[in-house]
Structure 1
Amino acid sequence: MPPAGLSKAVQAIGGSPLPHGILGGCATVQDVKDPHELMGVEWLALGCCPVLDWQDPCLTDESLGDESPGAPQEKEFCRPQTEHAEPFTVYSGSECSALGWSYKEARAQAVASLELGEQAAIEAGFMRLKLTRDAVDLTPPEGPLSIAQGVAVLEGCLAESYGGIGTLHIPAGAAALLGCCNLVKEDPETGNLETLAGNCVVIGAGYSAMNAGPGGIPAEPGTAWLYITGPLLIRRGPVDVIPDRPGPSVNIRNNDRQVLAEKTVVVATTCTVCAVQIRVCE
């Protein structure tokens, strides 16, 4: 029997974000200080216009007057689209009695919590602001597909609209199913998960927490939503701690101390976003 008395205060149990989340290697992550980049960005899309094949009729036996359904006579032009990405904030707030908690301790708690949970919050924000807003739903009228069928449909959509290496977004609650059909492999050099087609795979706790489809509609029980996008570029601002000094952190009405740690994030992708609903329970 341990001796009776007060328990000893020790350090918190540390943790690590999931290794294959949105910050795990599939995205290019830039820590920026320019406030203008953190107010939203826009650019001309690159790679969304089709690259077509053409055959010079002068090099064939067909004259210019002959009809040739397989070879267009005029080359086509495409106007690049303007794309944009919106900013959002991820944050962690700490609260405790000011009598037993110093400002330094509250600040450290808020910053450490933000560091651990930032990735999942970014995934949830990206799903809410981009994936569920802009995705083309490829779920057939018959209903949700198996995960292998879903991945195949999404990769076909990306190949037709972009053609480069993209990003497959998988909720953590469906990740185990990827191993059932050998759908992904680990790149020995980067450690990233890749599909057989070469697209990078993000397994997100934030996606699993939301599990929402196009329009923000929650998935039905036993199902999950998968998405595919082009490459990702994430701009992150510095950590802001509010307030930045001890005095204003105390609420004089109840003597509680509150400290907030937050940062601004802009997650950008390009071209078509496609979605499909899959079964997680057979």
Structure 2
Amino acid sequence: MEAIPGTPLPHGILGACSTVTDVTDPHDLLGVEWLALGCNPVRDTDWCPPGNPPPAVAPKEFDRPETEAAAPLTVYTGAECSAPGWTYEEAVEHALANLALGEQAGVEAAFMRTFLAPNADDLTPAEGPVSVAQGVAALEGCLGERYGGAGTLHIPTGAAALLGCCNIAHEDPATGALRTLTGNCVVIGAGYSALNIGPDGLPADPGTAWLYATGPLVIRRGPVDVIPDRNASVNIRTNDRRVLAERTYVVGTTCAVCAINVTVCP
């Protein structure tokens, strides 16, 4: 029998909320740096203050742009079976199919573990977890204050159904992306749900979930590597064949990283 095929979740990190670019130059996958855009405030000034004589106008302020960076992360899946029952081509096909289905969740989990959680400011009040609607409101406030442009909300799949309770997100018919009333894009990630850790690196308590907010996402995606070659794929001691499929990503975002703990109990 043929395996039952699957489809990656449509609103994950590799979906319409992200700008995903396939790159072949390995230098693009070693990590990147850039000068942040949009993180410095735009201030107002008095053109002609009232008074006679007019008061002195405060000097205008200048901000140095911050240097931001994105590090590489690699996701993989391995396939193993008895060599007499599995050809090399069958093992490669199986590994590639697994990677195609699951790599999005792998990228989400890695991004949460290596970037979101370590860099986020925790907005959870002292009283404890808030509702999903309150959590989204707090995150969007954080984005508005620190970035100002359209950003990204990162929602675990285990909390996604609650977005509909208050009409928090709607699908944009033009792009297929989920957006809030404010205009922020919504990533719903199985990897976020599987890991579900907070800024302290610890898993969320039962009945709660961690939501995050960042600026827009720009993702560089490398080619799929299949390792090893045909002859090296068989362990002659056990007569098992092993094939690995992996791919490297560089996930970049900007300015704000905020987090809040929400309750997923009705």
Q: What do residues 132-169 of structure 1 show as CA deviations (whole Å, max 9, x unaligned)?
A: 01000000000000001000000000000000000000
Q: What do residues 65-119 of structure 1 show as CA deviations (whole Å, max 9, x unaligned)?
A: 637xxxx511111010000011011101000000110000000000110000010
Provide the TM-score with structure 2 as the length reference.
Answer: 0.98
Distance (Å, rounded) in 2 between the aligned partners of 1:263 and 1:191? 25
- The answer for unaligned runs of 5 or more in structure 2 is none
Q: Which residue of 1 aligns with 2:263?
A: 279
- The answer for unaligned runs of 5 or more in structure 1 is 1-9
Corresponding residue to 1:267 among 251, 257, 265: 251
Q: Which residue of 1 aligns with 2:242?
A: 258
Distance (Å, rounded) in 2 between the aligned partners of 1:91 and 1:64? 70
Q: Which residue of 2 aligns with 1:50?
A: 41
Distance (Å, rounded) in 1 between the aligned partners of 2:52 and 2:82? 87
Q: Which runs of 4+ in 1 moved over 4 A?
A: none
Q: Which residue of 2 aligns with 1:16?
A: 7
Residues 1:78 and 1:15: Cα distance change in structure 2 (over 3 Å): same
Corresponding residue to 2:115 among 130, 135, 140: 130
Distance (Å, rounded) in 2 between the aligned partners of 1:60 and 1:137? 40
| Structure 1 segment 1-282 matched on structure 2, within 5 A | 10-56=1-47, 59-62=48-51, 66=55, 73-243=58-228, 245-282=229-266
Equivalent position SS for 2:165: helix
Is the 8 Å Cα contact of residues 34 and 67 (structure 2) preserved in structure 1?
yes
Is the 8 Å Cα contact of residues 12 and 189 (structure 2) preserved in structure 1?
yes
Is the 8 Å Cα contact of residues 39 and 146 (structure 2) preserved in structure 1?
yes
Distance (Å, rounded) in 1 between the aligned partners of 2:172 and 2:115? 27
Distance (Å, rounded) in 2 between the aligned partners of 1:134 and 1:62? 47
Amino acid in structure 1 at the alignment position of 2:243? V
Q: Which residue of 2 aligns with 1:7?
A: none
TM superposition shift of 1:60: 3.6
Distance (Å, rounded) in 2 between the aligned partners of 1:87 and 1:241? 18
Q: What do residues 29-88 of structure 1 show as CA deviations (whole Å, max 9, x unaligned)?
A: 0100111110111110000000111112xx343357637xxxx51111101000001101
Distance (Å, rounded) in 1 between the aligned partners of 2:53 and 2:101? 66
Amino acid in structure 2 at the alignment position of 1:38? L
TM superposition shift of 1:240: 0.4
Equivalent position SS for 1:181: coil
Distance (Å, rounded) in 2 between the aligned partners of 1:60 and 1:54? 10
Residues 1:247 and 1:152: Cα distance change in structure 2 (over 3 Å): same
Equivalent position SS for 2:200: helix
TM superposition shift of 1:25: 0.5
Amino acid in structure 2 at the alignment position of 1:274? C
Distance (Å, rounded) in 2 between the aligned partners of 1:60 and 1:241? 68
Q: Decide which structure has the larger Cα Rg and report it.
A: 1
Is the 8 Å Cα contact of residues 49 and 55 (structure 2) preserved in structure 1?
no
Percentage identity across paired residues of the two chains: 67
Equivalent position SS for 1:176: helix
Number of residues of Structure 1 aligned to a counterpart in Structure 2: 266
Provide the TM-score with structure 1 as the length reference.
Answer: 0.92
